[in-house]
Chain A
């Protein structure tokens, strides 16, 4: 196999002369991959080059004013929003994956219903989540635009992601582990928490990191659930905006292009860090 692929240039040219369409296909495929790489480099290169000169100390002041347009409150909000949404969604996601993998019997009706609804949830666009959050938390429950409403909306949004990755991680744990644990006299619950879950942690963690990425990048679902107030909210029942929403607000006001560039750089940086983390965790997982 390997040797046939490593044909000499001469042989290759000869085979392409016999079949020119193959050469065309190869060029097309390489062009497409080059385009994809080029697009990524352009986006990152352009935003970083134009954005870095606009980063200054004022953008990281603790208080937001219309003069400094600080993104610090938005960064703090992003961190608390992420923590809150994860705290709500991760336990539920892990528990439901445990039910699906460890408890449910094969061909259980409920299981297929859970799978279908989880699939549906992962396909719903974020603007529909936003309106749902608005209708349920802001209107029906009468909260108005609140940080908690935003976090709950995001929690529903990332739930299928946490569920699916945890499910895959649990399935990947060899049955031997469970049998060994049962053989030593441990109960089902003990087996799940002491044997299966610890072995699945890297996979679960990778899913959690992916979820963090989605929360950090989310805008449409938050505008109408958590609102767009620029400061750090004093309680969960106040409005507050995350970094992505902050950037949207800057762009829609139209006065703060420079600050938008700087915010985009910070967002990109966050995404790079999150992706690197998930790659590291995934590698640790595959090595085991």
Chain B
């Protein structure tokens, strides 16, 4: 009787462990089985490289959205990576412990703020400021980049700080003993030693930025055209889905799901490189 119960629960635990495998399989199945036939029907070249998105005329080119996603992601990196990494260095190596007890929860709070609140903040604060500065309507690549740059800060800070802390103290002490200042020791010995962890932080940030939806939609302008400059409005792949899914039907809806498949493919590639780097770290 007892061994029956043991085996029964073991089977329960095992099937629970298989849930995440089943979930990924289901997600892949539903995304690809609804998206890939659509891409084939529209034509992979027309779909991925077509520059015109006019669902009413049956023109489904998501090239502008792919470019849009790439631009705001790159912009977010330009804004978020330097600030995030330097903040991580500060937290790990420069911060007095009393300040750390306040700053660390602050970074965690930044991670907890819902993306819709970030989007709202961007809409009512960043957009008007850029309106003043640039003389445009304030929505566009730059605005989205700044907002996304802020949103990926906690991700980058968290992972990079852990990577910096994982570097053996002897590296730092060795540099100090050779007469380097505290700053030089940190930047020339500790940081290079933590570089794969830092790279992992950046890649995780890329994944967050490219997948972000609700905040981008508020500040990017959402025009489905290839952007002409950094101040012009863009629509990301994620925004494309949310904006039109509510009323789309038939091929239009399938094309939106296919957009998500392309996004999903990007994410899978990013995830894969993240886990490869993580494996190399060990």
Contact = CB atoms under 8 A, between A and B. Distances in A.
Interface of A: 4-5, 15-16, 19, 21-23, 25-26, 28-33, 35-37, 39-40, 42-44, 46-47, 50, 91-93, 95-96, 98-100, 102-104, 110-111, 113-114, 116-121, 123-129, 131-132, 134-136, 140, 156, 159-160, 163, 187-189, 213, 216-220, 223-224, 244, 247-248, 251, 257, 260, 264, 267-268, 271-272, 274-275, 279
A96 B13 contact: yes
Contact of A125 (B6, B14, B213): B213
A151 to B, nearest CB: 14
Count chain A CB atoms within 10 A of each CB in B117, B119, B157, B182 and give the residue with the most: B117
A112 to B, nearest CB: 11
B232 interface: no
Contacts of B24: 117, 120-121
Given A32-B86, A42-B125, A119-B274, 4 more contacts: A120-B271, A127-B213, A128-B211, A251-B116
A116 B17 CA distance: 12
Closest 10 CB pairs of A and B: A125-B211, A217-B114, A32-B86, A95-B16, A99-B13, A96-B17, A22-B183, A33-B90, A99-B17, A22-B181
B48 interface: no
A251 to B, nearest CB: 6
Contacts of B107: 36, 40
A189 B9 CA distance: 8
A23 B184 CA distance: 10
B156 to A, nearest CB: 10
A92 B116 contact: no
A171 B233 CA distance: 49
| Band of interface residues on B | 35 or more
A125 B238 contact: yes
B34 interface: yes
Interface in B89-109: 89-91, 94-95, 103, 105-109
Given A135-B257, A217-B113, A220-B242, A29 B89 contact: yes
Contact of A37 (B12, B103, B183, B242): B103
B260 to A, nearest CB: 5
B271 A29 contact: no
A128 B90 contact: no
A247 B6 CA distance: 48
A127 B17 contact: no
Interface string B78-89: 000011111101
A271 B153 contact: no
Given A92-B19, A120-B24, A271 B112 contact: yes
Where chain A touches its partner, the secondary structure class is helix
B129 to A, nearest CB: 11
B90 A22 contact: no
Contacts of A140: 30
Given A95-B17, A103-B10, A113-B21, A219 B115 contact: yes
Given A39-B150, A127-B211, A224-B245, A213 B10 contact: no
Contacts of A28: 86
Interface in B189-210: 207, 210
A213 B27 CA distance: 23
B202 to A, nearest CB: 14
A136 B23 CA distance: 11
Nearest to A132: B27
B21 A114 contact: yes
A121 B213 contact: no
Contacts of B83: 32, 35-36
Given A26-B183, A159-B19, A275-B105, A125 B123 contact: no
A16 B183 CA distance: 10
Contacts of B120: 47, 247, 251, 260, 264
A99 B274 contact: no
A40 B106 contact: yes
B112 A213 contact: yes
Give the interface centre of A33, A102, A110, A159 by most chain B CB atoms within 10 Å: A33
B53 interface: no
Contacts of A50: 124
Contact of B91 (A33, A35, A132, A272): A33
Contacts of B153: 36, 39
Contact of A132 (B12, B31, B242): B31
Contacts of A5: 182
A96 B19 contact: yes
A272 B211 contact: no
Contacts of A188: 6
B95 to A, nearest CB: 7
Contact of B260 (A16, A39, A131, A156): A131
Nearest to B239: A127
Interface stretch (B38-46, B57-65, B223-231, B261-269): B261-269
A120 B2 CA distance: 37
A99 B103 CA distance: 37
Contacts of A132: 26-27, 30-31
